[in-house]
Amino acid sequence: MDAQLAMERSRPDGWVITEGKLVRIDPTEFDPEAEKGVVKEYRISEIGRYLLNPGPIEIRKRLVGCEAHPAPTLLNRMAQRLPGWGQKRRRKADVLLSGFKLKLPTFKDRDLDAHFKKMVDEVRGFDPFAKKLARLTSRRLSHLIGICEDIGGGYSYLKLQGSTEEKIRYLSGHAGRAVRVTIHRAHVSDGLFELRAYPATGFNTAHSYRLYAYSRDGQPAACVLTPLGNLDYRLPDPQAVKYLSLLEQVRSSSPDFRRCFEECFTGSCRPVRLFFNRQLEVDYSKANFPEIYRNVFRSSETAPSSCNLVKPVLNYLQVAVSLSYLPSPDRTDQRLVTHICILHDLRALEPLRKSLPAVYAEMSRRAFSSEAGRFYVLDSITGTSHAD
């Protein structure tokens, strides 16, 4: 066991990724198409493996309705051949939403749980949504698309399988209930990670996986190996390693974020999503002066009037790392909590290097280095919403 791995096994808290190091290894051993050259090795935890894994994951969303797209009539089909006119005459899809809002917790007593579910099924028949579905006929529909309500109040589409009749039966039987939804991978889009498929039992800090970054056909490439040294998976986007590095540094630098992180990945809370966002709505030229700068001004005896030199640069090169979660892992009908850690790229402070050297030196001392650059924690915000 090497020293780095031994250090990981001794950690009492969670972790994501270690600092990368150059190693002498032939990458063709795990990737026949790899180019021989510089190889960087990281160790990633079970959390890191989940975030980067390109395999599909399954989550649950609440099915609340559907979009019913009418089949085009003969007149519509003929009109589509006329430039411009066909688009205006095309019938819009009908949006049908269930009014069934009742959400029941899962009871520990199986008999009691089954009894309440039976009662809910009896009440479900009075939902007008079921009557609207019954009036739909397959010959008048081109297709049906499910509508799901997400945690936090957002909506998304659900692709339904089978014939039109099978889709109608599925909608009728599952409206108002949590249904299984498969998405292509945890890294949903640039900077956005879906966390609801992460095991509720938490993670084992002693487990680690080797991640290698190298080149293939002149382009960056990366892959993860199993503990036995076999290929686990290749990364579709090697740049995603930067997100793990940034997350590890935020976890280490911010006690509040670290507390939320630990609660989410040890099973105390239910993690929902992780988002790295560069489009922030906080305008520090108008908002309160961040506490970190108030402390630096006091310790360096910098004149308070100098804050006007700092405020203009705070709105540039920001990254917000937000972790959203439900305080209880067993309930979905409660408030969604989001902890946001706002990072500031040290490059934005270059104008202060000469005008406020003491302030620049202190912020440079507080900054951490990651694969994405040098940042410091500018601010921390916690907010809640209700998943009704």
Instruction: Provide the sign of the torsion angle of the four alpha carbons 118, 120, 126, 128, taken in this order.
Output: negative
Q: How confident is the model at residue 137 (pLDDT cuts 50, 70, 90)?
A: confident
pLDDT in tens, 206-224: 889 999 999 998 899 999 9
Q: Which of 177-181, 332-336, 337-341, 376-380 has the lowest mean pLDDT?
A: 332-336
Residues whose CB is less than 8 angstroms from the CB of residue 93 and which lie 6 or more positions away in sequence, other chains included = 67, 68, 69, 70, 145
Instruction: Give the pLDDT band (50/70/90) at residue 94.
Output: confident
The label of the residue with tokens 């290097």 reads 353
Predicted pLDDT at 312: 86
Residue 149: pLDDT band by 50, 70, 90 thresholds? Answer: confident
Q: Per residue, what are the HEC states of 284-297?
A: CCCCCCCHHHHHHH
Quick check: helix, strand or coil at residue 119?
helix
237 C-beta neighbours (distance < 10 Å), count: 14
Residue 308: phi and psi, rounded to 5, are: -65, -20
Instruction: Enter the DSSP assignment of 269.
Output: S
Look at residue 10 and tell me whether its pLDDT is greater than 50.
no
CB 269 within 8 A of CB 323: no
Question: Residue holding tokens 């969670």?
Answer: 14
Predicted pLDDT at 54 = 96
pLDDT tens per residue, range 220-264: 999 999 988 889 999 999 999 999 999 999 999 999 999 999 988
Provide the H-helix boundaries in 31-136: 46-52, 74-79, 85-89, 110-124, 128-134
Q: Under DSSP, is residue 58 helix (H, G, I), strand (E, B) or coil?
A: strand
Q: Does the pLDDT value for residue 126 go beyond 70? A: no
Contact call for residues 345 and 320 (beta carbons, < 8 A): no
Q: List phi, psi (to 5°) of 288.
A: -60, 145
Which residues is 59 bridged to in the sheet?
181
Residues 22 and 42: their CA atoms lie apart, in Å, by 9
The answer on pLDDT for 273 being more than 90 is: yes
Q: Are 235 and 54 in contact (CB under 8 A)?
A: yes
Q: For residues 249 and 35, what is the distance between their CA atoms, to the nearest angstrom?
A: 30
Tokens of 235: 């990364």
Angle at 44 between CA 40 and CA 45, to 5 degrees: 170
* Cα separation, 167 vs 189, whole angstroms: 28
The CA radius of gyration of the chain, in Å to the nearest whole number, is 26
Torsions phi, psi for 160 (to 5 deg): -100, 145
Report residue 388's pLDDT band, with 50, 70 and 90 as the boundaries. Answer: very low
Distance from C-alpha of 228 to C-alpha of 292, rounded to nearest angstrom: 45
Mean confidence (pLDDT) of the chain:
83
pLDDT value at position 142?
83
Q: Looking at this protein, which amino acid is placed at residue 304? A: P
Higher pLDDT, 20 or 111: 20
Distance CA 249, CA 377 (A): 10
Tokens read off for 210: 């080797």
